[in-house]
Chain A
Amino acid sequence: MAIKTRRPAGEKLKSRNSNLKNVNNYGYLFCLPFVIAFVVFNIYPVFRTFQMSLMNYKGFGKETFIGFQNYIRAFKDVLFRESFVNTLKMWGLNIVLQLGLALLLTIIFNDIKYRMRGLSIFRAIFYLPNLIACTSVAFLFKTLLDWKYGSFNQVLMDLGIISEQINWLKGEAGTAQAVVGVVGAWMWFGNSFIMLMAGVQGINASYFEAAYIDGANRWQVFSKITMPLLRPIMLYVAVTSLIGGLQLFDIPYLISGTTGDPGRSLVTAVFYLYNTAFKNNQMGYAAALAFVLFLIISVFCGIAFKLMNRKEDD
């Protein structure tokens, strides 16, 4: 039974003062700068973008409310569809190479029989491409892969692998898309490697020892122990890569010299959105494209999580 005590006069005031004096409440104050920045730079733009997506708006001048017409247009837009498929192709190759390479390195560096040394040095080296600005990476590869004077073609020709120079960036659409996929994988495999390494190191070493004592070979250890226990972290890497990959813009934009050539093959969904907003001055439609892209990414992420849960349930 609760005992009611009479609240003395002035207790309310005192309580307010004590709230202010309570050191725990200062946390709210300390959070305030971030919260304000978050609202101003993240929350407000999202709402403003949605508002713009319902308007016929050039980015200047008058805004006219047109309901969901921009969204209807987005679903009929063949160029947006094409750019989205381009994005998927480039991201698809990127994620396969990125995860594959990272996984291979993870297996090598965690093999208790190999006992590889210098992990921290290799980890830093693998991560280095991720620290280079996209602009620099784009220009680096543009120079290396130049059709006539690029070192890459010259090395391949010196080694006798090719007899004629390959126009990597301006020739075939597939080749240019492959280049972007490979460049993305080169930039990000170090990041994936670090995450997978962290995941593997979180697996109890006694599992591996027990497996080897029981006579398991490398493939059995990998497929029966490492892979199943790494699945959550692999999914995390894949989902974060998906979110970033579907927003691919800078490398194809710069490597194609802002044109998206050859034949629009390097125009990604965000590249198309950018052109719509800033070249064609259709800010309202570009805002709708941004929300459609957000929707697509959400669906993809949902599917990925569903797949993960199903595997775990199994």
Chain B
Amino acid sequence: MKKLICLLLAMVMVLSLVACGSNDTGKTPANDNKEPVASDNNNEQTAEKIVVWTLANDLKQFAEKYKEDTGREVEVVVFDSADYATKIMQTLGAQSKDLDIFVGEPQMLPNFFEAGFAADLSKLESDVAEKLVGYTYQAGQDVDGTLRAVSYQACPGSVIYRRDLAIEVFGTDDPAAIGEKFATFNAIAETAAELDAAGYKIFGDTGALRWFSTNSNPWVNENNEIIVDQDRLDYFDAAVELYQKNYVAHASEWSAPWYSSMAGPLPVLTPDTNVWDLTGDGLAEDIANGAETTQVFSYVMPSWGALIIRDNAADNKGKFGICSGASSFFGGGTFLAVNEFSDKKDAAIDFIEYCTLNNDTAQWWLETSNGDVVSNKEVLAANADYQNESFGNQNTYGFYLEEMENIDYSLITGYDDACKEAFGAAIVSVQKGETTKEEALKEFYTVVTTQFPELVIPADAPIN
């Protein structure tokens, strides 16, 4: 009897182990059946219900509207952005059918495409090419030019500036005139000096300049050469000058002082201040106690940044304007792709089509999101007269539509993040006086070529 019990226990252990190690490819009975299957708790639509894995809550609203309009159900699962790419890689690496649609930001998409996770969306291609903003169409294509992801959003960037301070310092708040003040890195440095003389700081910190770092050349060209052109050297010099002359507020993006600066004066901070320990209340207390203050003139962000300004501006709401910067750029955006292993591809494509190509949906999202920029050109053009209250009744959609025409997606490469990070680190080391510009640039090339041995330093590099 004892032996039998021992044998049974051993078997249980072995089987449980096998069960733990089994590769779950989502072959649940519900998933295996392509036809609708009714369960005890759900109605007959459950089997056709598609599942979306995403990074933000936006798609929940889309799903609700989709159900209202079509009666079809979409389950939206939201993940933390830090874990998301890994989660997708692991799940779809196991060819799971647990999800039918997944999202990706532009920098994630090439990996998802190369891994073979995104299904071919060529059937939507002609509409996407015709209706959506050019760069979003290009970002959704794989290296062979096959469409694999489509976005309902567009995220063009801009300089968001304080109109009241602009009138006080420059005598005008006209976006075209202020845009000239940000047209080049040298112009930005001059503008920063003017603002500083008036007691204001041009940006929260010099990180704002990074958005303009891809202007006329890619970071890596077709010969695998790392490109540091005059524009990038100007960016380098401007970032160092702004930092060392305290033309910026030393309030890093996403820190409490940075948010607080949108609503009003900020205590003068030094480069050594650890802004991550500061709180809005603490800053207000410092001001109440008579601390010397300054104000931040502008912020450089993609269109979603306008929502951040709107939500944090408090009494300054309506005092902002938007204008072009040293280059047109974009940042982020939610692209939808269909899981290559899904059994419900048609239903998934239908939902993507509904979210991205349907003019009514795009119009609804413009109104519902109260500030998000859609990728649908027709809808943006139809709202070109819309006056945005947060931005002094400026016509923001018309501005963004024009700005997006200038975005050159061919300048984007898979090395951009690594190059920008290494270049940023080189700038910081010079800003802090730890090294010279020449040494920092050498270090930049060393870091990038070590991480990516396939890249080369061109003969005309500034260190040669």
Contact flag A59-B89 (CB < 8 Å), given A32-B14, A33-B17, A280-B452: yes
Please classify how large the interface on chain A is, using the bins under 10, 10 to 19, 20 to 34, 35 or more. 20 to 34
Q: Which residue of A lies closest to B89 (CB)?
A: A60
Report the minimum CB–CB distance from A214 to chain B (whole Å). 58
Is A114 part of the binding interface, using a Cβ–Cβ cutoff of 8 Å?
no
Quick check: B453 and A167 within 8 Å, CB to CB?
no
Is A111 part of the binding interface, using a Cβ–Cβ cutoff of 8 Å?
no
Report the minimum CB–CB distance from A140 to chain B (whole Å). 15
Contacts of B429 in A (CB 8 A): 263
Mask of A26-40 contacts with B, CB within 8 angstroms, 1/0: 100110110011001
Report the minimum CB–CB distance from B246 to chain A (whole Å). 18
Contact flag A26-B6 (CB < 8 Å), given A37-B17, A79-B451: yes
Quick check: A33 and B86 within 8 Å, CB to CB?
no
Is A58 part of the binding interface, using a Cβ–Cβ cutoff of 8 Å?
yes
Report the minimum CB–CB distance from B327 to chain A (whole Å). 26
Is A209 part of the binding interface, using a Cβ–Cβ cutoff of 8 Å?
no
Report the minimum CB–CB distance from B271 to chain A (whole Å). 11
Mask of B430-460 contacts with A, CB within 8 angstroms, 1/0: 0000100000000000110011110000000
CB within 8 Å of A: which B76-108 residues: 86, 89, 93
Quick check: B3 and A281 within 8 Å, CB to CB?
no
Mask of B103-131 contacts with A, CB within 8 angstroms, 1/0: 00000000100111000000000000000
Quick check: B10 and A60 within 8 Å, CB to CB?
no
Contact flag A32-B10 (CB < 8 Å), given A40-B21, A79-B447, A263-B434: yes
Which residue in A29, A32, A60, A148 is a CB contact (below 8 Å) of B273?
A: A148
Is A186 part of the binding interface, using a Cβ–Cβ cutoff of 8 Å?
no
Pair count A-B, CB < 8 A: 61
Q: How far is B114's CA from A40's CA once the two chains are assembled, in angstroms?
A: 28
Is A224 part of the binding interface, using a Cβ–Cβ cutoff of 8 Å?
no
Mask of A223-260 contacts with B, CB within 8 angstroms, 1/0: 00000000000000000000000000000000000000
Is A160 part of the binding interface, using a Cβ–Cβ cutoff of 8 Å?
no
Quick check: B451 and A280 within 8 Å, CB to CB?
yes
Q: How far is B6's CA from A147's CA once the two chains are assembled, in angstroms?
A: 60
Quick check: B451 and A60 within 8 Å, CB to CB?
no
Q: Which residue of B lies closest to A30 (CB)?
A: B10
Is A132 part of the binding interface, using a Cβ–Cβ cutoff of 8 Å?
no
Quick check: B277 and A149 within 8 Å, CB to CB?
yes
CB within 8 Å of A: which B60-75 residues: none
Quick check: A33 and B13 within 8 Å, CB to CB?
yes
Contacts of B93 in A (CB 8 A): 60
Contact flag A60-B274 (CB < 8 Å), given A26-B3, A73-B453: no
What would 10 more interface pairs be, CB under 8 Å, given A33-B17, A60-B93, A73-B453? A26-B3, A32-B14, A40-B17, A58-B111, A60-B114, A60-B115, A61-B116, A147-B272, A148-B274, A148-B277
| Interchain residue pairs with CB less than 8 A apart (7) | A32-B10, A36-B14, A60-B114, A61-B116, A78-B446, A79-B450, A278-B86
B→A interface (CB under 8 Å): 3, 6-7, 10, 13-14, 17-18, 21, 86, 89, 93, 111, 114-116, 272-274, 277, 418, 429, 434, 446-447, 450-453
